[in-house]
Amino acid sequence: MTKFPLAQIIDQGIKWLQTNFGSNLDSFSAAFTSGIGDMGHILSTTPWWLILLLFTVLAWRVGGWKLALGTAAGLFFIYNLKLWPSFLDTLILVIISALVSMIIGVPLGILGARNDRFHWIISPVLDFMQTMPSFVYLIPALLFFGIGKVPAVFATVIFAMPPAIRLTDLGIRQVPEDLVEVGEAFGSNPAQLLWKIQLPVALPTIMAGINQTMMLSLSMVVIAAMIGAGGLGAGVLEAIGQLKIGMGFEYGVAVVIMAIILDRLSQGIGRSFKTDVKNKE
């Protein structure tokens, strides 16, 4: 029995994309890289204690003094381990990837909620994107954009976007029927229905999606060190190469601290939307 040439088909498709859009991709990549570079420059010239302070204040606002204390201690520990520059590199990539995922994902989710056909098309695509081993995305990213931060963001966005789409879609679909009827019965147009009723009511669910997107971004950004993303992942990779267990552990702990802080912060932001709704005096 002859083998179905799946690999060849994919290879040729990628090649076709490369030859037809390669130059566009290159210039896009260059522009994007310089954008990331600018942002990195700003962050790396900002004093470390100021960044620590900003995070702590944010944590205090959304989660109270316990979260603020934990955040400050965690970030100080990362600084103490002398991993601050790597931490900033990873932070930038996570923020950019999560932002891009949100900017693309939330509108797609809205579309999915409003259009059943689109919903049925995109659901299996999302399943595919999430279950495909994440390493596989690194290869086309590498081919399109070469080595560096841009392919890292590209692969991360593909991996991290599905929850933003899915939970936006779900959140809007779960808006109680009678609230939608309120919108229609009082003569709202579709945009008013979306902005005044569906999105605000779906916001807690959408925020849960964004939290997941953030977490997936972080895990992928670490893996993307394999194609030159730098940051904490690069340290882990180096430690693996040189079998330095202690060093690997240091970088690993920094990733864990960062994950916890980002998770609690984005959950806290999501919750503060919810409590705005429920308990504002």
Partner 1 sequence: MSIISDHIVVKGLIKIFGNHPDKARLLIEKGRNKDEVLRETGQTVAISNVNCTVKQGEIFVIMGLSGSGKSTILRCLNRLVEPTSGSIAIDGIDINSLKAKDLRRFRQEKTAMVFQQFALLPHRTVLNNTVYGLEVQGVARKDREEKALHTLELVGLKGWENKYPSQLSGGMKQRVGLARALVNEADILLMDEAFSALDPLIREEMQDELLSLQQKVHKTIVFITHDLNEALKLGDRIAFLRDGTLVQVGTPEEITTVPADDYVAKFVRGVDRSKVLLAGDVMKKPQPLITMRDGPSVALRIMKEHGISSVFVVDMDKHLQGIITVDSAVSARNNGITNLRDVALAQGPIVKENTTLQDTLGVIAECKLPMAVVDDENKLKGIIVRGSVLAALASDKGGETND
How many Cβ atoms from other residues are within 10 Å of residue 274's Cβ? 12
Q: Which of residues 17-76 bind partner 1 (CB under 8 A)?
A: none
Please state the closest distance from residue 184 (CB atom) to partner 1, in A: 6
Under the criterion CB under 8 A, does residue 185 sit at the interface with partner 1? Answer: yes
Under the criterion CB under 8 A, does residue 11 sit at the interface with partner 1? Answer: no
Please state the closest distance from residue 271 (CB atom) to partner 1, in A: 14
Please state the closest distance from residue 277 (CB atom) to partner 1, in A: 5
Under the criterion CB under 8 A, does residue 272 sit at the interface with partner 1? Answer: no
Q: DSSP for 191-247, please give it.
A: HHIIIIIIHHHHHHHHHHHHHHHHHHHHHHHHHGGGGT--THHHHHHHHHHHT-HHH
Under the criterion CB under 8 A, does residue 246 sit at the interface with partner 1? Answer: no
Paired tokens of 193? 């229905």
Closest residue by Cα to residue 250 from 262, 239, 264, 265: 239
Say how far apart CA 147 and CA 222 lie, in whole Å: 15
Q: Which of residues 135-164 bind partner 1 (CB under 8 A)?
A: none
Closest residue by Cα to residue 77 from 256, 262, 269: 256
Please state the closest distance from residue 174 (CB atom) to partner 1, in A: 13
Under the criterion CB under 8 A, does residue 116 sit at the interface with partner 1? Answer: no
**Which stretches of the chain bind partner 1, using CB under 8 A?**
176, 178-179, 181-182, 184-189, 192, 196-197, 200-201, 203, 276-280
